[in-house]
Amino acid sequence: MTMHRNNRFSAILFAMLCLLASPAAFAQGASDARLDRLLEVMRARETVDAILPQVEASQRQMIDQLTAGQQLDDAQRARLDAILARTNQRMNETLAWDNMAPMYRDIYRNTFNDEDIDAMLGFYGSAAGQRLLDKMPLLMQNTMGAVQQMIVPLLQQLEQDIRAEASAGE
């Protein structure tokens, strides 16, 4: 009987120590209001809004590449434009902030703990954090340019290898 009581006491003591040792492990995720504030200072909505015109331009470029060298009459061009318009409309609806915000909240809630959220709120809410966000498009542009410089020779070599292989098979 004494041993059973000691085991139960030990189990209760262990459970209490676990609860005291890591309260964050049992805490709920950040509130929607805190996450919305973080997304606001990080300019998430503006980022999503800025992506939409880029996606539309990319789709237009893809259609232009697919139809390059083809003689399209006015009716064919109108049908392609209608398809592009429908696709762009669906894209705008799908990527509208009202649809994206809950997804962003869930991603941040599932990825970061309260301490992380507080740190990000502090940083992105600061002048330094805002300057980083101001410079992020230029940073991404410079990064993409540098990566392209590295990849272009690889793509050229790939093209040469494919041509050589195709010539060998003739």
> Helix/strand/coil (H, E, C) string of the chain?
CHHHHHHHHHHHHHHHHHHHHCHHHHCCCCCHHHHHHHHHHCCHHHHHHHHHHHHHHHHHHHHHHHCCCCCCCHHHHHHHHHHHHHHHHHHHHHCCHHHHHHHHHHHHHHHCCHHHHHHHHHHHCCHHHHHHHHHHHHHHHHHHHHHHHHHHHHHHHHHHHHHHHHHHCC
What was the pLDDT predicted at 10? 52
State the pLDDT confidence band at 105, using cuts at 50, 70 and 90.
very high
Q: What is the pLDDT of residues 6-39, one digit of tens each?
A: 555 455 545 444 444 433 343 357 899 999 999 9
Section 36-60 average pLDDT? 90
Spatial contact of 19 and 26, defined as CB atoms under 8 Å apart: yes
State the pLDDT confidence band at 168, using cuts at 50, 70 and 90.
confident
Q: What is the pLDDT of residues 127-152, one digit of tens each?
A: 999 999 999 989 988 998 899 899 98
